[in-house]
Amino acid sequence: MINSLLALMAFQFINIPYRWGGNGTPNQYGYIGFDCSGLVVKVLEDLKIIPHGYDMTAQGIYNWCKGQPKGRSTLACDSLLFFGSSRERIKHVAISLGVVDGIHMMIEAGGEGKGSESIDTKTLLKRNARVRIMPVSNRKDLIEGIQLPWNNLVKSI
């Protein structure tokens, strides 16, 4: 059973299409979707961990987490997982579900990359470009997981 407030909030977005630069609002083509950082920022906003209107890249979220007090490096459930080639080149962020049936899992918005801006929703979903649950092992570029004392950051829900 998942007892992660971050994960539970992210579950509501499962199967929303992946969109480069997406934050859950329609883009210039009228398509709705999320990219990896848009999903994480939306969850953090909904939990009132960050103010509404933040627009951070995966690197920006990593830098923000590193600047928070009492953050700890871990891959446990409720952590944010950061992927890239180095701590200065974070390219992807996801929410850890921890180990489920022996497999470390995450919720991520992943898929087509920049070309997804103008691809129709049906095609994106057919290509599995969406908010989805995936094994962390599908990526080989994990840099770090950071868990913050979220309950200390949440001001009101």
Q: pTM, whole model, 2 decimals?
A: 0.89
Distances (CA, A) of 55 to 28, 29, 32, 84, 121: 17, 20, 16, 19, 23
Q: Is 71 exposed, middle or buried (0-12, 13-18, 19+ CB in 10 A)?
A: middle
pLDDT at site 69: 85
The residues spanned by each domain of the chain are 5-153
At 145 the three-state DSSP class reads strand
pLDDT at site 121: 83
pLDDT at site 134: 96
Which CATH superfamily groups domain 5-153?
endopeptidase domain like (from Nostoc punctiforme) (3.90.1720.10)
For the chain, helix (H) and strand (E) counts, in that order, are: 5, 6
**Nearest Cα to 14, choosing from 31, 37, 39?**
39
pLDDT, mean of each 10-residue run, the chain (157 residues) = 76 92 78 91 90 87 91 90 96 94 94 78 88 95 91 52
- The answer to whether 34 touches 131, Cβ cutoff 8 Å, is yes
pLDDT at site 39: 96
Whole-angstrom distance, CA of residue 57 vs CA of residue 63: 10
